[in-house]
């Protein structure tokens, strides 16, 4: 088998894995939750909790009310007071939601990452 055939096979496999139907209830992945919302902040939350047993990750992510990212700090605290995941206590989950809510009130994740990237390239 030549290198070209191997590359073609690998490219086919990538195309197969990167399709809409690849991730489903039978083949769970935290990206399912992120993809459902198509929101950078929710995608970041999904990525931050994407460790451990995939069924438990998806169960935890599905238990979150992402509309809390537009609610008051008190509403966030009340709703998430019993939410924890593995090493993160409910206080950690609450702090993450409040921090991301406040960030979104002033800026966007894209702007934060972009400004960090620009600053890093200027320092070089």
Note the pLDDT of residue 111.
Answer: 92
Widest Cα–Cα separation across the chain: 62
pLDDT, tens digit (0-9, with 9 covering 90-100), for 7-64: 888 888 877 766 666 555 666 778 888 888 999 999 999 999 999 898 899 999 999 9
pLDDT, tens digit (0-9, with 9 covering 90-100), for 55-76: 899 999 999 999 999 999 999 9
- pTM (two decimals): 0.75
Kindly give the residue spans of alpha helices, DSSP state H, lying in the chain: 3-17, 31-37, 40-48, 54-63, 73-80, 90-106, 109-123
> Which residue's structure tokens are 């399709």?
19
Residue boundaries of the structural domains of the chain: 3-123
């Amino acid at each position: 088998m030549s290198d070209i055939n191997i590359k073609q096979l690998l490219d086919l496999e990538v195309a197969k894995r990167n399709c809409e139907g690849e991730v489903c209830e039978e083949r769970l992945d935290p990206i399912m939750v992120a993809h459902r919302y198509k929101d950078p902040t929710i995608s970041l939350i999904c990525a931050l909790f994407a460790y451990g047993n995939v069924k438990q990750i998806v169960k935890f992510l599905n238990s979150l009310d992402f509309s809390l990212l537009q609610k008051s700090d008190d509403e966030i605290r009340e709703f998430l007071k019993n939410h924890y995941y593995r090493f993160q206590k409910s206080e950690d989950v609450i702090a993450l939601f409040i921090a991301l809510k406040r960030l979104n009130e002033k800026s966007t994740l894209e702007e934060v990452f972009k400004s960090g990237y620009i600053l890093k390239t200027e320092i070089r």
